[in-house]
Copies of this chain bind each other. A is one copy, B any other.
Amino acid sequence: MVMEEEVMVNRKVVLKHHLPPDRMPKESDMELVATDTVRLRVPSGSMAVLVKNLYLSCDPYMRSRMTKHDEPSYVPDFVPGTAGITVHGLSGYHDTYRFGSSRFSITGYREWQPTLRWLLSIDRRSSALSVMRRIFDIKLIRIKTSEGQVPTSRKEGSFTSNSTNTLCMPGLTAYAGFYEICSPKKGEHVFISAASGAVGQLVGQFAKLMGCYVVGSAGSDEKVNLLKNKLGFHEAFNYKKEPDLNKALKRCFPEGIDIYFENVGGAMLDAVLANMRLNGRIAVCGMISQYNLGKHDGVHNLLALIAKCIRMQGFLVSNYYKCYREFEEKVVRYMKEGKIVYIEDIAEGLENAPSALTGLFAGRNVGKQLIVVARE
């Protein structure tokens, strides 16, 4: 039982400095800071709220935010240092705590999110975040200040990390990318790179449920095994063991690829372009192989776009929140029917956030990378 008036240390992970664009992030680029405190009693009558972070997400797109850019991108660069870093700093998706129920939210790499004013100020700045908040039904209900303290154990509802993952950002990314961008048809040949990752594993299962032939690539035999034996891919290969990606794709797709779900970029994209079929579609979701390069690898086979009438479409999940209800309804049903499984890799404790995040770029994670800050 938390005592009234208790003041707790509110640990957070901050970026120590901006990274140059041309190297991998290291754990030493971040540090765990334990100088902030949080008062667990919320002032009576205030609109403040105390949110407890349970699971935090590690996502490849965060790499770009670690480098300072001259021109603004779709997400702001992180701000190294101390003041305000959590707000503009390393931020991830987590579950908010409301009398035991948990919800998707937007927060920082910290234990407690002490006030609603932060979220409100983001709402004013960013309509995308505002929409996200509405759609994901983040009910940051003010703690009952008559009671004056945060409950420390779950009273009702049941928490699983699925609401952070399958049903949130990676899930909607997979859903919109596959159904909205790829225009899939039954029987088509689908290739997914980084196929055991947070997004890829779902795309593959969606494609299989539609009756497509599905092949994935990944960076270890363990991941390939998961793709074939747990996630139901028809075929999979370890790209690190293939001396010639073009030949690997020809072996898996003797008749060519209709749909490519792009998560890695570079040499894999070049090999795919050489193996696409007429009227193929490429959903460009990510290019993780390029995120730590100063100059990105050249892609040489773009001429294939013409002869094969290929559509190549980049997208951001934030443009597809309109699909959320439809997505949620379909995917929850699939999950209840046992048609979709989800593989997670959970790092224990906020102190392991730097390791978990840097591990993404070395391919250390198996499945969706999460950090558990607290389980309840």
Contact = CB atoms under 8 A, between A and B. Distances in A.
A265 B302 contact: yes
Nearest to A269: B302
Given A269-B302, A298-B298, A298-B299, A313 B314 contact: no
A301 interface: yes
Nearest to A302: B299
B310 A305 contact: no
Interface in A46-86: 73-74
A339 interface: no
Interface string A299-310: 111111111111
Interface in A274-308: 278, 284-287, 290, 295-308
B315 A302 contact: no
Contacts of A296: 300-303
Interface in A301-342: 301-316, 319
Nearest to A306: B314
A361 B353 CA distance: 55
Interface of A: 73-74, 265, 269, 278, 284-287, 290, 295-316, 319
Contacts of A287: 302-303, 306
A314 B319 contact: no
Q: Is the interface of A mostly helix, strand, loop or mixed?
A: loop
Contacts of A74: 278, 307
A319 B278 CA distance: 11
A311 to B, nearest CB: 5
B302 A313 contact: no
B306 A286 contact: yes
A249 to B, nearest CB: 14
Contacts of A265: 302-303
A306 B298 contact: no
B298 A300 contact: yes
A338 to B, nearest CB: 33
Nearest to A276: B314
A23 to B, nearest CB: 17
A90 to B, nearest CB: 19
Given A74-B278, A287-B303, A308-B314, 6 more contacts: A284-B305, A296-B303, A304-B314, A306-B314, A306-B315, A311-B313
Nearest to A315: B309
A33 to B, nearest CB: 30
Contacts of A297: 298, 300
Contacts of A319: 309
A312 B315 contact: no
29 contacts: A73-B307, A265-B302, A265-B303, A269-B302, A284-B302, A284-B305, A284-B306, A287-B302, A287-B306, A290-B303, A295-B300, A296-B300, A296-B302, A296-B303, A298-B300, A299-B299, A299-B300, A299-B302, A306-B314, A306-B315, A308-B314, A309-B313, A309-B314, A309-B315, A309-B319, A310-B313, A311-B312, A311-B313, A311-B314
